[in-house]
Structures are given as C-alpha cells and as structure tokens.
Structure 1
Amino acid sequence: MQEQLNNPLHGKRLDAIIEYLVDHYGGWKGLGRQISIKCFNENPSLKSSLTFLRKTPWARQKVEELYIQVINKK
C-alpha cells in the first residue's frame, strides 16, 4: 500500500487520463502532435484509443509518461 501513495497513476483510469490529455492539449490534434500514434491522428475517439492502448503496452506507456509529465508541471 505504501508504494501506491507515490504512484501518480494509482486510482486513475485510462479513459480519464486520455480525456485529461485531450483537454490539456486542446483536442485530439494537439495530443496527436505530442504522441504520434494512429489512434490519436486518424478518426480519433475515446473508444478506439482505449482499445488500441489496452492492447499495445508501449503506446500506453507513452500516454502514461506524458500524463505524469503534465501533472508534475502543475
């Protein structure tokens, strides 16, 4: 339990992280410029992004790392 107190992703759902980043970067285009993956740049939607990120560990890691960078700057 002590480990989780220092984990900024603890209790955060992937859909909430994506929505936060989309809002932070002013939409899907902005997020797609930060992380150039197809699910953010071609017909983006929350559902398609979740499907892709749940199946693709390297892409999910990039999203999580970007989220941590953004919240640490605030």
Structure 2
Amino acid sequence: MTGTNDPLHGLTLAAILERLVAHFGWELLAQQININCFKTDPSIKSSLKFLRKTQWARDKVETLYISTFNT
C-alpha cells in the first residue's frame, strides 16, 4: 500500500492558493491570513513568490487549506 495521510500530497502551492482565492476571494483571504501580499495589489504570482520564500506564511496557507477543504 502506497497511500499517504498528508492531505496536501500531490498539490502544488499554486493549486492550493488558487483554490483558496476562488473560495474566499483576496479580501477574505487577507482577513484569514494577515500578510501584505494578500492585501496590497494581490496576485497569484506575487503571492507565490512571497510564500515560497517565507515558510511561516506558507504554513498558514496550508493550514487554512486543510481546515477549509479537508474537514
């Protein structure tokens, strides 16, 4: 058996962020996770650049994804 218990297995950071934006929109996402790349002129590209460099922010995005879609 080669299954995994990781709910993010096989998902890219881009896919996670795109689904969160589609679900919440940028404004609500910024309320959930208070980071500037979600509040000031947000885009998938700029947010991905920040999240790839900033582990604590990426952790928050992944946690929100899990709590939103895997309950």
The Cα of 1:72 is off from its aligned counterpart by: 2.1
Superposition misfits of 4+ residues, deviation over 4 angstroms: none
| Alignment match, 1:10 | 9
Q: CA deviation at 1:30?
A: 1.2
SS of the aligned residue for 1:44 comes to coil
Mapped to 2, the partners of 1:17 and 1:24 lie a distance apart of 11
Structure 2 unmatched ranges of 5 or more:
none
Calculate the TM-score normalised by the size of structure 1.
0.89
Unaligned runs of 5+ in 1: none
User: Where does residue 31 of structure 1 map in the other structure?
Assistant: 29
Identity of aligned residues (%): 59
Superposition RMSD on alpha carbons, in Å? 1.4
Is the contact between residue 7 and residue 70 of structure 2 (CA under 8 Å) also seen in structure 1?
no
Distance 1:7 1:32 in 2: 25
Q: Please point out which of 51, 54, 57 is paired with 1:56.
A: 54
In structure 2, what is the equivalent of residue 21 of structure 1? 20
The higher relative CO (CA closer than 8 Å, separation ≥ 6) is in: 2
Paired residues in the alignment total 71
